[in-house]
Amino acid sequence: MNERDSEQVARMFVEGGYTLTRDEQDADAILVNTCSVRDQAEQKALGKMGMMGKHRERRGHVVYGFMGCMAQSRGEELFERIPHLDVVVGTQKYHRVFGYVDGILKQRLEQRMDVVGAEMESVRVEDDLVAKGSGPGPAKSVLDTGEEEGSQNTIRDHVAGERQPTAFVSIMQGCNMRCSFCIVPDTRGKERGRPIADVVEEVRRLAGKGTKEVTLLGQIVNLYGRTEFPRVGGRSPFVQLLEAVHEVDGIERIRFTSPHPIGYRDDLVAAFTYLPKLCSHIHFPMQSGSDRILKAMRRPYKNEKFISICEKMKAARPDLAITTDIIVGFPTERDEDFQATVDCVERLQFDNSFIFRYSKRKNTPAAELDGQLPERVKEQRNQELLRVQGEIAVRRNAALIGTRQAVLCTGPSKTNKERLSGRTSQNKIVIFDGDAERMEGEIFEVEIEDSTGFTLFGTAAPEVGVGAGVEFGDERAVGPRY
């Protein structure tokens, strides 16, 4: 979600005449979009911004800013922590970042020109005059973390001119759940959904520029529109949105993240039987396999319900891959609670798990619970579950060797620019050789030849442009038209 928010901000700067750069030493404005889900993410952002203060000595006009969840939760405190910080903007004000930064930067550049002009004038009149201060004067800092009605509708634009085989599409903001470990409801606000027609129009624009795959984003994406839009024919607003996006010509794959067991109803399960563009992958956070810990987390479901949904999904789409999030070392977690989590991972055979050690988050109920576990215990459990999940992933990916997989090429590999990278419908990374200019943004088959456990390697079939939909009998099933 942060990546999508950052793209919206970047688009506004490009439209305002700025050029994006990956080199912070060349930048006139440096913005860090922050996350507060874990303390490590906040500390990394604070450390990075602190180190960048060295550029102010050489380029005094540069504007520094924090955006996002940490900016929302910490606010004024960040100016005390980072003396050179200029802008702190919360999660409902991304669309205002450009105006704030541009205003400060223009003021500083004008002040610098005034100083230079005065120096030049003084030199002409009196050659031995001592030079005046060379740095620009201070500009006002900006703190904006307030709520703004309709802010969910402002994350809608993408960076112009860039070919995007895949794209994120924000469909909602906020969360009404109150998991005891999570700060998101405080940083993102209450659930607010965009109208279906607006989302579909954004997807159409992306398809018109060559995008083949979209990922629909929400804090709890399957609860989209539940308090704002009506159910129609027994279908939730989210399923209605999936059906509408499915009808957009040019879009061949649809993903969504992240759903929650609450609200994951049979109409969403059924959608995987008649919407072939839905990818055969869901990222479905479990958090714990222990009912006692789930209750302490304020996750209002039992583990058997989670398992039941996974089994229904695999019955609806037999080639489905499921990945998950798990927290280990939650307060009061006993050996038997952890073992219940291990047992569930082994039962469901997740394709991958993102496993995190519990860390306290400010102003969350879990942070005040008795029974906080030592870091040593958290680390032991983290390593054990990583080992279990790693063995499962190796087996599942090894089973794909010798098969052909439909892959959407997303461009050069991040680790080896000489090779190409893409993803299967199950969201598995595939590395292969090929012509980036011809293959990027296309879906074609790759013969899988090897696996390192989490990455597949193969050779592209000679025919490019193979369809990536899921076959249902002799014809492709389609949903209602909008």
Residue written as token pair 């634009």: 157
Closest-CA residue to 69 (of 184, 192, 196): 184
Percent of the chain as helix, strand, coil, to the nearest 5: 40, 20, 40
Residue-level pLDDT at 243 = 98
Residue-level pLDDT at 298 = 95
The Cα–Cα gap between 186 and 81 comes to: 21
The pLDDT tens digits of the residues spanning 451-460 come to: 988 899 999 9
Instruction: Tell me what the mean pLDDT of segment 456-475 comes to.
Output: 59
Model confidence at 248: pLDDT above 60: yes
Model confidence at 131: pLDDT above 90: no
Is the pTM for the entire model greater than 0.95? no
Q: Sign of torsion, CA 255 171 238 325?
A: positive
> Which is higher by pLDDT, 94 or 274?
274
The Cα–Cα gap between 116 and 138 comes to: 16
- Position 293, amino acid: I
Model confidence at 392: pLDDT above 90: yes
Does the domain at 155-398 match CATH 3.40.630.30? Answer given as no
- How far is C-alpha 37 from the chain's CA centre? 12
The pLDDT tens digits of the residues spanning 6-51 come to: 888 888 888 888 889 888 888 899 999 988 777 788 899 999 898 8
Q: Per mean pLDDT, which range of 56-60, 134-138, 212-216, 290-294 is the poorest?
A: 134-138
Residue-level pLDDT at 196 = 96
**Fold exhibited by the domain 404-464:** OB fold (Dihydrolipoamide Acetyltransferase, E2P) (2.40.50)
In percent, how much of the chain has pLDDT > 90? 63
Residue-level pLDDT at 466 = 43
Model confidence at 449: pLDDT above 60: yes
Instruction: Band the pLDDT of 465: cuts 50, 70, 90.
Output: very low
Instruction: Tell me what the mean pLDDT of segment 456-480 comes to.
Output: 54
Question: How is the chain split into domains, by residue range?
Answer: 2-144, 155-398, 404-464
The pLDDT tens digits of the residues spanning 398-424 come to: 999 999 999 999 999 988 889 999 999
Buried b vs exposed e over 275-284: b needs ≥16 C-beta within 10 Å? bbbbbbbbbb
Same fold yes or no, 2-144 and 155-398? no
The pLDDT tens digits of the residues spanning 171-211 come to: 998 888 889 998 877 778 888 999 999 999 999 999 999 99
Does the domain at 2-144 match CATH 3.40.47.10? Answer given as no
